[in-house]
């Protein structure tokens, strides 16, 4: 039986912290699907298609990882993809309360699905998509915080016309 894990999130955009969690999960599971949530209510900077394309390019070197998008109930998507586990990242105690609540609710909705928490490398614990967007918006250097393709896309998105064309 193939062990499939789903790593859901907004990924607006993918950071090196997310990527660190993906790499760790890829060692434990036969296949990891990075599932990008539509999340229109969060008014994402990147469209769903852009976020999926950015993840796909950044994980191209990991043969057992792919990106997909989903809308609606996560547990239904997990079951539809025949996965048994949800992967979530824990950066600090501040993440814990929300993640704990989410994991228990998902277990209530489908008790066959387990949530696995992974801690990123300590140097990535301060990283969030929100903070990276804020730094980029203010003209700060985001090298080392996001994959190269995400950096290019962010610069292009925030200063159209001033960086190389963003092609995905
Ligand atoms: P969401 O909107 O679902 O929180 P995110 O894209 O912000 O989506 O995060 C997806 C998952 O990745 C969450 O479990 C979050 O805690 C985790 N995560 C976010 N940033 C990091 C990071 N720097 N290191 C490890 N995990 C992270």
List all residues 6 or more positions away from 12 whose beta carbon is below 8 Å from its beta carbon. 39, 42, 44, 45, 46, 51, 129, 133
| Mean pLDDT across 98-120 | 96
| Radius of gyration of the chain measured on its C-alpha atoms | 16
Question: Is residue 11 within 6 Å of ligand 1 at its C-beta?
Answer: yes
Rounded Cα gap, residues 157 and 137, in angstroms: 10
pTM of the model: 0.92
Question: Is the minimum distance from the CB of 129 to ligand 1 under 6 angstroms?
Answer: yes
Position 35 pLDDT exceeds 60: yes
Residue 161: the pLDDT is 54
Mean pLDDT for all residues in the chain: 93
Tell me if 66 CB under 6 Å of ligand 1: no
Tell me the C-alpha distance between 129 and 17, whole Å.
Answer: 9
Query: Domains in the chain and their CATH numbers?
Result: 4-157 (3.40.50.620)
Q: Which helix (H) or strand (E) is 111 found in, with range?
A: none
Whole-angstrom Cα distance, residue 140 to residue 168? Answer: 24
Lowest mean pLDDT among 5-9, 50-54, 85-89, 162-166: 162-166
Q: Which two tokens stand for residue 147?
A: 């994959």
Binned at pLDDT 50, 70 and 90, residue 105 comes out as very high
Alpha-helix residue ranges (DSSP H) falling in the chain? 16-28, 48-58, 74-80, 93-109, 129-137, 148-158
User: Would the pLDDT of 164 be above 70?
Assistant: no
Mean pLDDT value of segment 123-136: 95
Is 107 an annotated catalytic residue? no
Please give the residue that has the higher pLDDT: either 135 or 165. 135
Has 42 been annotated as catalytic? yes
Q: Is 91 a catalytic residue?
A: yes
- Distance of CA 9 from the midpoint of ligand 1 (Å): 6
Q: What is the pLDDT of residue 94?
A: 85
How many H helices and E strands in the chain?
6, 5
Q: Would you say residue 99 has pLDDT above 70?
A: yes
pLDDT for 167 beyond 60: no
Q: Does ligand 1 lie within 6 Å of residue 55's CB atom?
A: no
Over residues 105-131, the mean pLDDT reads: 96
Q: How far apart are CA 77 and CA 83, in angstroms?
A: 9
Share of the chain above pLDDT 90, in %: 88
Task: Report phi then psi at 67, rounded to 5.
Answer: -110, 150
Kindly state the tokens that stand for 14: 């993918």
pLDDT band per the 50, 70, 90 thresholds, residue 168: very low
Location of structure tokens 């998507």: 77
């Amino acid at each position: 039986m193939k062990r499939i894990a789903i790593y859901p999130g907004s990924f607006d955009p993918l950071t090196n912290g997310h990527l660190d969690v993906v790499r760790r999960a890829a060692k434990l599971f036969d296949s990891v699907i990075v599932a990008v949530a539509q999340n229109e209510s969060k008014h994402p900077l990147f469209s769903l298609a852009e976020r999926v394309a950015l993840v796909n390019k950044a994980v191209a070197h990991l043969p057992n990882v792919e990106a997909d998008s989903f809308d609606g109930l996560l547990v239904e998507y997990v079951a539809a993809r025949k996965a048994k586990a949800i992967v979530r990242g824990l950066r600090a105690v501040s993440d814990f309360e929300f993640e704990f609540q989410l994991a228990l609710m998902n277990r209530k909705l489908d008790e066959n699905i387990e949530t696995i928490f992974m801690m990123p490398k300590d140097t990535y614990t301060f990283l969030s998509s929100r903070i990276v967007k804020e730094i980029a918006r203010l003209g700060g250097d985001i090298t080392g915080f996001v994959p190269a393709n995400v950096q290019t896309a962010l610069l292009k998105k925030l200063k159209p016309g001033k960086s190389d064309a963003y092609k995905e």
